[in-house]
Structure 1
């Protein structure tokens, strides 16, 4: 972990340990789930921190607690998402009933932590957290319904589900620093979520396993493109999605069609549209070189 990840991780440990209303079993599970998250880094908390730093004259150490609070909310959503999709090998999927209580505790702790901070604009930050969290839940509901079967509706869904959470993380940092937010930060914050989701969708199709969207009959941009083609593979996939019990997918042919038939290239092209939009907005925001480098990495 780098220095910022370590500070956020330390703040999470303190928040968990000092939460007097949680029993030891809940604390134990919360800590273990947090450790799994720590292994991949705290990208949402870092978005919060970098935007606070960009617009603040000095650093209030409570920002590390708020960044940790943002990570608690994100982890709670990850847990709930995995429990709903039933396709995760994370430890929380082994005890779904107990893990749901941990996720609920995280949601409450996220808001409570910001409320107990010393920031002047903490109430406005909590309002942002609530607003964008509800938008993300609306997107998750659309995702579970699995009805977004064209580019426009699919992008609208991932904008709500994923874009809301990345935008929220950026905006909370900005709000705490200066008491207001800007459309530029909201825009590229939202686009970061869209870009990351499309990258995840592409990655999902590279492994023919339990998390593969096609095998799970989920819709994503590459699959939407594939289904729009009039060829034998697309017809076979359409029949598979329509529960034709005699349809057996040829893994090699289907994978080859996704890779070489334009589906992946199409998804990458859509991703790049949002990449250039995000970079354009980012150019108009005065953020430190380290912060900008981190954002550019997420955008690309």
Structure 2
């Protein structure tokens, strides 16, 4: 199943990319992306299969999902300047922006062909991509100061793309009703929050890899620390520019201990658990077939 998706990803890029260097780079990035579980294309496949979908284009549609997430990952890593081991971080930014455009435009071009008789579906996908870009912009502006603003940013940045992955699956059905659309849309949004909170929890401690605190990101655990700034003054001072990154890094062990003792990780985990329970409640209302329904649910509990 996933082999077919990988093949469609390669075919799409090969067909639409006429600059050899860009094509070779894009294909190498696809190879890197498909080393993992191909989590996002599975969302599309399961969103289709669990409603007895049998579209002849479903592997191509799932490939479009995976390509759009690949473009988003590349953009996110460039803007955040992390995941330096990824192959797209080894090339000039100018090249990567061209790669991103190539991937997205190739995907949308294929989508227009597949959904030729469903123009509203293409419009919906375009809208979800734009919402995700809006969320990405809010993220890099880094002006979030409240939990309400954080979850709004999250809904745009993370939830929009997961909505897209699910939407591409169920919009490929011959028939779907508004109730199904609403339920899957809600499940997708909750899934986006659950996964982002997992990332926030994993990236709060200072390590040699990606770290939100060193980059002054305003994630849920960080907002907790800043809200209780009097208890953790060194964190607040760093975010206000009174302490340098070098000083923070030099006190890495001390700060990691502060983070572990602060309760910020436990707080984020409790919020995540509430969303998991909410997912389970909504999921129970979904009339879908096995084993795809259970596989869809299991993706929520699996890190990408």
- The TM-score with structure 1 as length reference comes to 0.91
3-state secondary structure, aligned to 1:166: helix
Please state how far the C-alpha of 1:158 moved relative to its aligned partner: 0.8
Q: 1:243 aligned to 2:244?
A: no
Q: Once superposed, which parts of structure 1, at least 4 consecutive aligned residues long, lie more than 4 Å away?
A: none
Please state how far the C-alpha of 1:122 moved relative to its aligned partner: 3.8
State how far apart, in whole Å, the 1-side matches of 2:291 and 2:103 are. 29
State how far apart, in whole Å, the 2-side matches of 1:42 and 1:246 are. 39
RMSD, matched Cα: 1.9
Please state how far the C-alpha of 1:213 moved relative to its aligned partner: 0.5
CA contact (8 A) 1:114 1:126 kept: yes
Higher relative contact order (CA 8 A, sep 6+): 2
Please state how far the C-alpha of 1:230 moved relative to its aligned partner: 4.7
- 1:204 maps to which residue? 203
State how far apart, in whole Å, the 1-side matches of 2:47 and 2:214 are. 39
Give CA deviations for 1:166-201 in whole Å, capped at 9, x if unaligned. 011111211120255521100011111111111011
Give 1:110-259 correspondences, 5 Å limit.
110-117=107-114, 122-177=118-173, 178=175, 180-181=177-178, 182-232=181-231, 234-245=232-243, 248-249=247-248, 250-259=251-260
Please state how far the C-alpha of 1:110 moved relative to its aligned partner: 1.1
Give 1:280-299 correspondences, 5 Å limit.
280-299=281-300
- 1:11 maps to which residue? 8
Distance change >3 Å, CA 18–CA 274, structure 1 → 2: same
Distance change >3 Å, CA 99–CA 264, structure 1 → 2: same
Unaligned runs of 5+ in 1: none
Choose 241-250 or 63-72, whichever is displaced more.
241-250
- 1:73 maps to which residue? 68
Give CA deviations for 1:108-152 in whole Å, capped at 9, x if unaligned. 1111111222x5754232112111111111111110111112211
Unaligned runs of 5+ in 2: none
CA contact (8 A) 1:121 1:176 kept: no
Give CA deviations for 1:14-66 in whole Å, capped at 9, x if unaligned. 222233x522211101110111110122222111111122334x512211001
Give 1:256-267 correspondences, 5 Å limit.
256-267=257-268
3-state secondary structure, aligned to 2:291: helix
